[in-house]
Structure 1
Amino acid sequence: MLVEDDQSISEMVGHYLTKEGFEMVHAFDGEEGVRLFHQGSYDLILLDIMLPKLNGMDFLKIIRQESNIPVLMISAKDGEVDKALGLGFGADDYIAKPFSMIELTARVKAAIRRATQYSAEEPAESKVIRIHQLAIDIDNVSVMKNGEPLQLTSTEWQLLCLFAANPKKVFTKEQIYRSVWNEEYFGDQNIINVHMRRLREKIEDDPSAPQYIKTLWGIGYKLGEF
């Protein structure tokens, strides 16, 4: 679903993604987007920030109460505040206008691919990685802390699995982006920073003093030792 009030952009994006094999549903304001969201089933939402009736941030807060569907924010505002705010509200990725259709399509496919991996069917046997109070069930795609389930987005899940599967390795931001986003890294550190902050808010006792995922200043991140 594309929620975009600019008719020309909506038509351009819809035409291109349809040629790429996607079925498109269009909404032209936030209220219409919420209504269509509750009426259908979608693989991804492309969401503009500046919308009439209900803005993109409020739209995102509503659907995040009931769904972890991938959301790709699009906006003419390319400031760091907008990026942090959009991702902080639960968006999976962010792209600024003007954007190329090739880049947009790559971002859409990558987000859907991550979500598909996150919701993989349960196999016969399960591999569980235990790190202090965390139990990371790789095959069943679930995380528990002190016996209580944690609700992670597909991106947060893949970040956690990356560190859990490589407990001794230090990852630079470029390596993290290549591993999780499967794309070339162009130095947009804010996307990684915000996702890491959201993950820490869910798994850490004190996100301001993280123990599970440590920051190595000027280098990157690594799994903490207990």
Structure 2
Amino acid sequence: MRNLLRIYLMKEGFAIKEASTGQEALALVQAHSFDVIILDVMLPDMDGWQICKRIRELVKTPVLFLSARTETKDKIKGLGIGADDYLTKPFDSEELLARIFSLIRRSVMNQEVIPQPSRMLHYPDLVIIPEAREVRICDEYVEFTQKEFDLLVSFAQNIQKAFTREELVERLWGYDFEGEFRVVDTHIKNIREKMHLAGLKYNPIQTVWGVGYKFYVPGDANEK
């Protein structure tokens, strides 16, 4: 499979580097700068889930899972731990190419966005600094993945709005996302767990039954 991918992508003009194990992949990620990382789930030394988590600790490069595991729960898991897309085998080579270009295009657009002045967002025991991409809970820095942080900021900057899952997916993955909208639930679950472990005494992201989610501030006039 790697051989076929290399031949096909090189014909399309891509420079390719390959890894047969997770350790090799992580070494390459640390040594080189990539536009896209294509990752399988089943590898001899460590699984793709572990590798993806390690990659997210190192870089923000778009990750595309290419796997024979077709169950929805596997797709949601992959997207939930930081992957940007998930394509199952067997796949059409033109679809793979389209997804790769989509990831690259989205990544470039994110890098080219002109930073706008943004204030620190202050809430009880919670401070979010959008430009620095930092979150402090009870005066301690708490690390979030790229998608988790983007979700949190979307809520915190729109405290009067209830978002549907579809709206959140469009904000974070774009209109051409073809995965499961339930991936949002996985990210929100992770955000809530990290905040709870960090000592936050309230849940800032509340479920709006029949709609989706909204941001919650203790003492807000809309509090029920």
TM-score, with normalisation over the residues of structure 1? 0.77
Residue of structure 1 in register with 2:207 after alignment: 215
Give the share of equivalent positions with the same residue, in percent.
Answer: 29
CA distance in 1, matches of 2:203, 2:211: 17
Residue of structure 2 in register with 1:109 after alignment: 105
Does 160-169 or 132-141 show the bigger shift? 132-141
Deviation per CA, 1:115-152: give whole Å up to 9, x if none: x489x98x8x7610112221111222211111111212
The question of whether the paired residues in 1 share the 8 Å contact of 2:52 and 2:81 is answered with yes
| 2:158 maps to 1:166 | yes
The question of whether the paired residues in 2 share the 8 Å contact of 1:92 and 1:111 is answered with no
Deviation per CA, 1:16-74: give whole Å up to 9, x if none: 362xxxx4322233232133223323354221112334432333344455555543322
The question of whether the paired residues in 1 share the 8 Å contact of 2:80 and 2:183 is answered with no
CA distance in 1, matches of 2:44, 2:7: 18
Deviation per CA, 1:173-196: give whole Å up to 9, x if none: 111111222224557223222222
| 2:145 maps to 1:149 | no
| 2:73 maps to 1:77 | no
Deviation per CA, 1:76-118: give whole Å up to 9, x if none: 212123124324444344333325021332134335655x489
The question of whether the paired residues in 2 share the 8 Å contact of 1:72 and 1:108 is answered with no
CA distance in 1, matches of 2:150, 2:77: 21
State how 1:34-113 maps to structure 2 within 5 Å: 34-64=26-56, 66-67=58-59, 69-97=61-89, 98=91, 100=95, 101-111=97-107, 113=109
* Secondary structure of 1:175 counterpart: helix
Q: Which has the larger radius of gyration?
A: 2
* Secondary structure of 2:166 counterpart: helix
Residue of structure 1 in register with 2:5 after alignment: 9
Structure 1 alignment gaps of length 5 or more: none
RMSD: 3.2
